[in-house]
Amino acid sequence: MDDGVPDVAVVTGASRGIGAAIALRAAAAGYAVVVNYSTDADGARNVVAEIQAKGGTAGSVQADVSDPSQVAALFDAAAAVGPVTAVVNNAGITGNLIGNLADVPSETIRRVVDVNVSGLIFVCQEAVRRLSTGSGGRGGSIVNVSSTATKAGSPGTWAHYAASKGAVDVLTVGLASEVAKQGIRVNCVAPGSTNTGLHAAAGMPDRVERLNPGIPMGRGADPDEVAAAVMWLMSDDAGYITGAVLPVSGGR
């Protein structure tokens, strides 16, 4: 519908890394972008400023996705801008710990599950309520961000994180079937080793470089390459695709 009001894309965890790259590409595609963040207000402001400097429309909204009331407030803020037709579930954490599962503190595991699983579910719930043609929405696309860590399970580093991302894959498939007749497509991008600050925050700044020999393409991904895959799944070019989990992993 072309009524002069831009469609809105909500991107969670968009203050840096993959989320920031997605926000920038969504703005370039013509969306008004809601840049969600939990704690990195400066990073979110920088992303918004970059979008605006390029002529796009964006604003930042603080919300912890593990709190359903904050998720609802995030979508209320987005709806005030225009109709939400795209939602990217990118927010995720590792707990910033490296080691065997038996050594991961219970509070870290709970927090990872709260954000990566419960938070993603809360965002999906709210997205369906807003996008569903059965509820007066325009329909649209939900893209979840998982990880190829689900393949090997990240033993000795982030097994708890890999398990949480396995839940993302399963939810994508189930929800896609559930809402296919409501005008909503649900897909998932599973990045492999990617050059972001995630690894340094966990004390492994050289992790991507160390993994390169095991990647057929010999390098980690750039965040913009992951963002490109997300944008394709959001686009009309992927209009007959739902329930897919697309690896962006250099062949690994």
* Residue 1 lies inside a defined structural domain of this protein: no
Match 């396995």 to its residue by tokens.
166
How many structural domains are present in the chain?
Answer: 1
> Structure tokens of 192?
């492999």
Q: What is the pLDDT of residues 147-185, one digit of tens each?
A: 999 998 988 889 999 999 999 999 999 999 999 999 999
Cα angle, residue 24 at apex, residues 18 and 26 outer, rounded to 5°: 100
What is the span of the domain harbouring residue 243? 8-248
* Residue 232 lies inside a defined structural domain of this protein: yes
> Is there a contact between 223 and 17 (Cβ–Cβ < 8 Å)?
yes
Of 31, 37, 161, 240, the catalytic one is 161
Q: Which pTM value belongs to this model?
A: 0.93
Q: What is the pLDDT of residues 69-114, one digit of tens each?
A: 999 999 999 999 999 999 999 999 998 878 899 999 999 999 999 9
Match 């979110």 to its residue by tokens.
44
Nearest to 161 by CA among 211, 104, 243: 104
* Residue 107 lies inside a defined structural domain of this protein: yes
Report how far Cα 9 is from the mean position of its chain's Cα atoms: 12
* Residue 2 lies inside a defined structural domain of this protein: no
Instruction: Tell me, yes or no, if 31 is annotated catalytic.
Output: no
* Residue 109 lies inside a defined structural domain of this protein: yes
> What is the H or E stretch that residue 240 is in?
none
CB atoms within 10 A of CB 39: 10
Report the CATH number at residue 105. 3.40.50.720
